[in-house]
Structure 1
Amino acid sequence: MKMRYLLLAVLALVSQMVSAEVKVLEWEDLIPAEERDNPLPPPSNAIHPMFADESVPIDWVQTYGKVVEALNGKEVRLAGFVVPLEGDENRVTEFLLVPYYGACIHVPPPPTNQIVYVNYPEGLPQDIVWDAVWVTGTLNAVTYDMETFAAGYSMKATLANPYDEG
């Protein structure tokens, strides 16, 4: 009888693991189909810092893109680059995940649907934040507003590791 309960428990666990399959996303998956077909125009005052007059502060205007509501609450894996927000000298516990190196720092920020705010309590080691990373966790299609820009998605990460193409 005990063996039967054990077998049922194992089957239930396997069933949960199969149903909680992680979906690997590409950045374009975060953009609704109608926006992919009709891309958002770049901000009208987007001037690359290299060409800006240093005496005039750059005031970037971020484009607000729509999110894909069907991704809300899904377990996903997404590769990108880290823009650190919170942490210490060893680990980064809050960061933005962006599609290309330098986004939000040296150029106008990408549209909101191309930025993911990530909370990762375990922390990402500081020595890998300058390289591409894979981040896995629960994605929420909820805008995360900051002082100077916004992220169209947020994620509670369960795993973050260096990018590999495998």
Structure 2
Amino acid sequence: MNKLILALSLLISPPLFAQEAMSILWSNLAPGSADLPPASNINLALDGKIVIIPGFIVPLDGQGKAQTKNFLLTPQQGACFHKPPSPPNQLIHVTFDQAVDVPGPEQPIYIAGKLTIKSAQAGFAKTGYHIQGIEAIAYPVQVSSTDTHTAHNH
């Protein structure tokens, strides 16, 4: 809990003063029953809100780069091009005006920005949401690639 409080306190930055960021989890993006089609199981109340959500980056503008402006944010560690993608209501297409650092594939990150409901084809997957990024915040604990138990506690 202290780690979450620390990470959320990092959000006190000038770009976010205009509207306080709402901390959300992936379950907030698909609020209905699990047997609903992903295209209709979206959270209309979040459209246009400034949010912060933890996740894992899958760059869309080139693998192996140290920075990116265009990526998918996923709830699962290890999402990549050779695995079936998550459903659209569990994938967020994120764009930034300025490139942000790409953490390792096992390292989560917090993304803060304006969330919109937007169905689109982004790279190899269909997404149901878009975030215009305001800030990328390093996860407060570095996760080693051999520590898979900790890597899934986000």
Contact 1:25 1:78 in 2 (8 A): yes
Computed over aligned residues only, the root mean square deviation of the Cα atoms, in angstroms, reads 2.6
| 3-state SS of paired residue (1:141) | strand
Tell me the equivalent position of 1:150: 126
**Rg bigger for which structure?**
1
Aligned to 2:20: 21
Counterpart of 1:75 in structure 2 is 50
Aligned match for 1:39, one of 17, 34, 42: 34
TM-score normalised according to structure 1 size: 0.65
| Mapped contact 2:93–2:122 kept (Cα < 8 A) | no
Structure 1 residue corresponding to 2:108, chosen from 132, 137, 140: 132
Classify 1:99/1:65 alpha carbon distance in 2 versus 1 (closer, same or farther; 3 Å): farther
1:78 deviates by: 0.3
SS in 2 for 1:94: strand
Letter in 2 for 1:164: P
Which consecutive residues of structure 2, in runs of 5 or more, have no partner in the other structure?
1-15, 142-154
Q: Does 1:109 align with 2:85?
A: yes
Give, in whole Å, the separation in 2 of the partners of 1:84 and 1:77.
19
CA distance in 2, matches of 1:158, 1:152: 19
Identify which range, 92-101 or 104-113, moves more after superposition: 104-113
Relative to the length of structure 2, the TM-score reads: 0.70
Query: 2:39, 2:101 → 1: CA distance?
Result: 31
Question: Would the aligned equivalents of 1:104 and 1:110 in 2 still touch at CA under 8 Å?
Answer: no
Structure 1 residues 97 and 147, CA gap change in structure 2 (3 angstroms): closer
Equivalent residue in structure 2 for 1:96, among 62, 72, 76: 72
Number of aligned positions between the proteins = 124
CA distance in 1, matches of 2:137, 2:78: 19
> For the structure 1 residues 92 and 147, does the alpha-carbon distance in structure 2 shift closer, same or farther, using more than 3 Å as the test?
closer
Asked if residue 30 in structure 1 is aligned to residue 25 in structure 2, the reply is no
Give 5+ residue unaligned stretches, structure 1. 1-15, 42-62
Tell me if the contact between 1:134 and 1:162 (Cα under 8 Å) persists in the aligned partners.
yes
Aligned-partner residue type, residue 142 of structure 1: K
Q: In 2, distance between residues paired with 1:20 and 1:83?
A: 27
Query: Letter of the aligned partner of 2:61 in structure 1?
Result: E
Q: How much has 1:90 moved relative to structure 2? A: 3.6
